Amino acid sequence: MYAGEFNFPRLMRLSPESLKLAEAFLLCGGNLKELSEQLGVSYPTLRKHVDTMINELVNIKKEDELTIGTVLDKIENGQLKSEEGLRLIREINGEY
């Protein structure tokens, strides 16, 4: 990550399909039965899509953790000022 760049929140980095599913899930109050009916898919199909969305989010979080590790290494090696590193870490974690 370079100065002037920023990360979108993790949820916004989901694929378009997973992002739509996440929105529908929230609007259904997390009720998978209702969501299944709303989307017109069977529960097992919906569960597969939800699992895909969860895996995407887990992978995005892992990527962020690697980036945070890189930022910490740069701070330790004097390649990045601690204030800037802290700002980047907060941004990565969605702490605006």
pLDDT over 90, % of the chain = 86
Phi, psi of 31 (to 5 degrees): -85, 105
pLDDT of 9-39, one tens digit each?
899 999 999 999 999 999 999 999 999 999 9
**CB-CB contact of 7 with 91 (8 Å):** yes
Q: How far apart are CA 8 and CA 76, in angstroms?
A: 26
Least-confidence region, from 3-7, 38-42, 45-49, 86-90? 3-7
